Structure formats: C-alpha cells, structure tokens
Amino acid sequence: MDAAEFRRRGKEMVDHVADYLEKIEERPVYPDVEPGYLRSLIPTEAPVEPDSYEDIMKDVERVIMPGITHWHSPNFFAYFPAASSYPAMLADMLCAAIGCIGFSWAASPACTELETVMLDWLGKMLQLPECFLAGTHGHGGGVIQGTASEATLVSLLAARCKAIRRVQSLDPKKSEAEILSKLVAYTSEQAHSSVERAALIGAVMMKKVPTDNLYAVRGEMLKKILEEDKAAGLIPFYFCATLGTTPSCAFDHIADLGPLCNQENMWMHIDAAYAGSAFICPEFRPLLNGVEYADSFNFNPHKWMLINFDCSAMWVKKRTDIIGAFKMEPLYLKHENQEKNKTKPLSVILQHWQIPLGRRFRSLKMWFVFRMYGLQGLQAHIRKQVGLAKEFESLVRADKRFEICAPVVMGLVCFRLKGTNELNQSLLKKITKSREIHLVPCQLSGSFVLRLAICSRSTESRHIQQAWQHITQLAFELLQEHHH
Ligand SMILES: *Cc1c(COP(=O)(O)O)cnc(C)c1O
C-alpha cells in the first residue's frame, strides 16, 4: 500500500467507521456464536502471496462482525462504559502516524510534555489538591497508565518499597524477606478483582475489609482489623479505597479512612476507575473529599470521559515515591538533556512511573477531546447519562414486582425481581438469549442482582424505555411459567 492508496482506503475506512456507528443499533448487541467459531472461517496459515484489500474488508463482515459484542450499541448496558468519541478516534490515527515510543523526554519531547500538562488540566478539572499537580514546581504529578489494574499495581509496588525502607530505617538488622512476610495490604470486599491481583503479583498478603449496608468501607471497620493485625506483629502498609465500586457504585468513606492511613504510615491509593469522570461536575465533587489524604489517585477517562481505550489517569503526591521504586537507567536510554531536565518537572521520565518501558502518545486523544468538548461538553455527557440511569430507576421503582438494590448515584442501576436468586438468574438468561439488550449481574449481600449501566454515547431515553419494556415482558413470561 503506497500513500496514494492509503489516502483512498483511509477515506473509505472513515466512512466505514461512521456507517458502522450510525447503524450499530440494527445489529444484535450480543453475538450468537459458539467458542471456537472463528478458526474454521479463516485459513490455518498466513497467506504467502498478498491478499487484496477488498477481500480483507469482506472478511471483516463475514468473520469479525458476527463475533463482536457491540459495546457502542445504545442497547449495551453491561459492565461499565467503554468511552468512545470521534475526536479521540482521529487523535488515535495521528498517534499511529507519529508512532513514537515515548519512554523518555528525548524519545519524543512532545509526548512526555503534553502528557504531563494534560494530566494537570484533568487534575484541575477534578479540582484535585495542588499537591497532585506537576505544574512547574510541584512534587506530584500525573501519568497515563494503560488500565486501572496497572495503576493499582504500580501504587502497591511503590508502597511496598517505601514500607520496606521505612522499617529498615528503624531496624537496619531486619532483612527485606522478613519484612515482606509481615506486610499486609487492605481493600474492600467490594473492590475490583484487579486489587487482589495486584497483591498476588506484588507477593504481599491482602485482607478484605467488610462493608456497611451500603457496600462502603468505613474508618472504624479498617481500624478494628489494623489493631488486631498490629497486635499479631504484622505491618499494615497499604489500603486501596474504591470510589464507585464495580458491583454497585458504592463509595468508601475516604475522609475517615485517609487520616487513619496517614496516622498508620499506610499508603492510601484511591481506585475511582468508573466514577472518577463524574468528579468534574460540582454536584459529584464532594464524593472526592478526602483525596487530600491519599498518596495516589486513579480513574479511567477511557470509561466515562469520551477518550477511547486505553487511557487511565493516575496521580501521585510525591513523584519520588514512585520513581524510587521503578528506576533503571541503562546507558542506551540516557540522553544529553537529562541533567538539565532533572530539575524540571515538565521533563519527567515517564518510563519510571510504569511497568512497561514503551508508551504510546496517548495524551493526544485527551488533548483533542478536552478541546473539542470543553469542560461543559464533558459535564453534559456525564449529566445526561446519570439522568438516563435515574429514568430507569423510576421505571423499576414504579413496578411492585421489582426492587432497587443499591442507591443510584451515577449511571448504574442495580435491580432485581423480588424473589429467589434462581428466578433472577432465569430472567437474565432470557435477556441474554434475546440479544436485544446486554446486561451482566453482580452479587450483593448474597443476592443475585442485575446491573444496568448507561454505556453508549448514543443511548437515549427511548432506549431506556424499550429496555424496560423488554425486561418486563420477559419477566411477565417468566412469572407465568413459574405459576404453571
Ligand atoms: C473497571 C474497573 C477496574 C478495572 O479497570 P481496568 O482499566 O480495565 O483495569 C478497576 N476498578 C474498578 C472500581 C473498576 O470499575
């Protein structure tokens, strides 16, 4: 493919993408294929002679589309949203064209510098305390991680390193292995599975803290476990709070938990993967009060802020904490501006903030989206989707056969048919089989609960009304079957 053909095919592809997204509603949201469906549809070996572009595009419809779960269908209500917008897609094209691997300032100065400034912009939109911003003199700063899971792991590893140094400074005879075996991390029993996984990878013990009747961790619950563990000779070193839990969008009480963590020399990380985007709205910002006690904070603009995957924003209060845990400097990565840059926060070397060395120019899509939408446009997107969730909530509340299972604070509604878990499992099976809408369940206090998350940018009130009609129709059939 030369530049001339690329121009032609590129324009066709843009049309193809716009057509796909404009007509996505006509496709069943959930695919009707069995595991292993794809292998038999394509050759067992890569072609020796080149294939034609036309043939590839034909195969996209024949091979790929039947096996796609259409996350951007207005009838997709599963998991949490995956952000998508045209400006972000265009920026990603440019990112592919520049194709730099921005691990150091010299490897592509704009890549490092734009990222640092975009994280400051975003931090200001969230009204993060000054200490998390890099500015030109700050000790904190932000970085783009691929996912919230990586941000949690990075924070845990940095906390582990800091804890070992702290204990050794008090008792230099203690070996690292001995300290490691005593370190304990904590998180909510409602936390995302990636938090437990971070402890597994980081080879430290992790304990789950029980939650209150609204599925949130309170200060006194953590305090009680800490007292027991300290008395048993263990060393608490890390707490991962969740703002907007995955099952029900519950909010841990960080304003109480934060001072406790500070007092106990524990690192507090905040995982606000989904809910974080909403903190750009003043009406939701109080839920972030207490962030000033945290050592690190993370959320996913790739969930709810119209910036396509992958883009997980992470801030730390002290850059040295995180860099200290990950720094490696082989000669081939050194560059002549390094000494000069050491004193300038804008020229931070972001490879020391993450697990991989290589990094894409992901801040481009933030820059495009922030400028094309403006703060107001982004706020409008959040408010519209919260409004749709409230609309669905009132439909559920008006039907006596159903119940709401957790407060509807943002764009997630947890609901179920009053009755057994089996009944609700059957309802979800019917919903999944019909392929008109897509939902996933969760477990709350032993109950099987249906979760409806407002996901697609194109979901409107009529889709909510249709979804509810569809659910009640299937519930009606199900209850009839049960009576006979
Ligand atoms: C979605 C989610 C995650 C995982 O996000 P990734 O970016 O896919 O790793 C972590 N924590 C919470 C609370 C989530 O909702």
- Nearest C-alpha to atom 15 of ligand 1 is from which residue? 246
**Closest to 240 in 3D by CA, of 209, 285, 265:** 209
- Whole-angstrom CA distances from 282 to 278, 289, 377, 387, 470 are 9, 12, 14, 16, 35
Domain assignment of residue 472, yes or no: no
Tell how far the Cα of 37 is from the centroid of ligand 1, in angstroms.
29
**Count of structural domains within the chain:** 2
Domain assignment of residue 88, yes or no: no
**Closest to 272 in 3D by CA, of 211, 188, 388:** 188
Question: Domain end: 335, 360, 385, which one?
Answer: 360
SS3 assignment, position 256: helix
Domain assignment of residue 299, yes or no: yes
> Which residues fall within 8 angstroms of residue 164, CB to CB, at 6 or more apart?
176, 179, 180, 183
E strands within 98-218? 141-145, 183-188, 205-209
User: pLDDT digits over 307-322, tens only?
Assistant: 999 999 999 998 888 8
- Nearest C-alpha to atom 4 of ligand 1 is from which residue? 148
Domain assignment of residue 207, yes or no: yes
Q: Which domain holds residue 11?
A: 3-83
Domain assignment of residue 431, yes or no: no
Domain assignment of residue 182, yes or no: yes
Ligand 1 site, CB within 6 A: 80, 147-149, 192, 194, 242, 245-246, 271, 273-274, 300, 312
Tell how far the Cα of 12 is from the centroid of ligand 1, in angstroms.
34
pLDDT of residue 147: 96
> 127 and 34: one domain?
no
Among the atoms of ligand 1, which is closest to the Cα of residue 245?
Answer: 13
pLDDT of residue 346: 44
* R_g over Cα of the chain: 24
- Whole-angstrom CA distances from 60 to 54, 85, 376 are 10, 22, 37
**Which CATH number is 109's domain given?**
3.40.640.10
Domain assignment of residue 422, yes or no: no
> 205 and 335: one domain?
yes
Among the atoms of ligand 1, which is closest to the Cα of residue 272?
Answer: 13
> 23 and 165: one domain?
no
Scored b (16 or more CB within 10 A) or e, 119-147 reads: bbbbbebbebbebbbbeeebbbbbbbbbb
> 16 and 154: one domain?
no
DSSP 8-state symbol, 366: H
- Which of 145, 300, 311 to mutate for ligand 1's pocket (most ligand atoms within 8 Å of CB)? 300
- Which of 194, 201, 410 to mutate for ligand 1's pocket (most ligand atoms within 8 Å of CB)? 194
> 74 and 122: one domain?
no
CA 319 from centroid of its chain's CA atoms: 22
* φ/ψ of residue 107, rounded to 5: -65, -20
> Omega into 321 within 30° of 0, i.e. cis?
no
> 148 and 15: one domain?
no
* 136 vs 123: CA distance, rounded Å: 14
**Closest to 25 in 3D by CA, of 472, 466, 327, 380:** 466
Render each residue's pLDDT in the chain as its tens digit; 484 residues: 999 999 999 999 999 999 999 999 999 999 999 999 999 999 999 999 999 999 999 999 999 999 999 999 999 999 999 999 999 999 999 999 999 888 888 889 999 999 999 999 999 999 999 999 988 778 888 999 999 999 999 999 999 999 999 999 999 999 999 999 999 999 999 999 999 999 999 999 999 999 999 999 999 999 999 999 999 999 999 999 999 999 999 999 999 999 999 999 999 999 999 999 999 999 999 999 999 999 999 999 999 999 999 999 999 998 888 877 766 666 666 666 565 555 454 446 677 788 888 889 999 999 999 999 999 999 999 999 999 999 999 999 999 999 999 999 999 999 999 999 999 999 999 999 999 999 999 999 999 999 999 999 999 999 999 999 999 999 999 999 877 6
Among the atoms of ligand 1, which is closest to the Cα of residue 244?
Answer: 13
SS3 assignment, position 207: strand
- Nearest C-alpha to atom 5 of ligand 1 is from which residue? 148
- Nearest C-alpha to atom 7 of ligand 1 is from which residue? 147
Question: Domain end: 83, 114, 133, which one?
Answer: 83
- Which of 271, 310, 355 to mutate for ligand 1's pocket (most ligand atoms within 8 Å of CB)? 271
pLDDT of residue 164: 92
**Which CATH number is 20's domain given?**
1.20.1340.10
Tell how far the Cα of 417 is from the centroid of ligand 1, in angstroms.
27
pLDDT of residue 422: 96
pLDDT of residue 334: 63
> 164 and 307: one domain?
yes
Contact (Cβ atoms closer than 8 angstroms) between residue 415 and residue 449: yes
Residues 24, 14, 42, 37, Cα dihedral to 10°:
-20
Neighbours of 55 (CB within 10 A): 11
> 45 and 111: one domain?
no
Domain assignment of residue 423, yes or no: no
> 181 and 75: one domain?
no
Neighbours of 448 (CB within 10 A): 18
pLDDT of residue 220: 97
Tell how far the Cα of 184 is from the centroid of ligand 1, in angstroms.
22
> 237 and 156: one domain?
yes
> 142 and 51: one domain?
no
Question: Domain end: 360, 394, 413, which one?
Answer: 360
> 74 and 169: one domain?
no
pLDDT of residue 337: 59
Contact (Cβ atoms closer than 8 angstroms) between residue 236 and residue 227: no
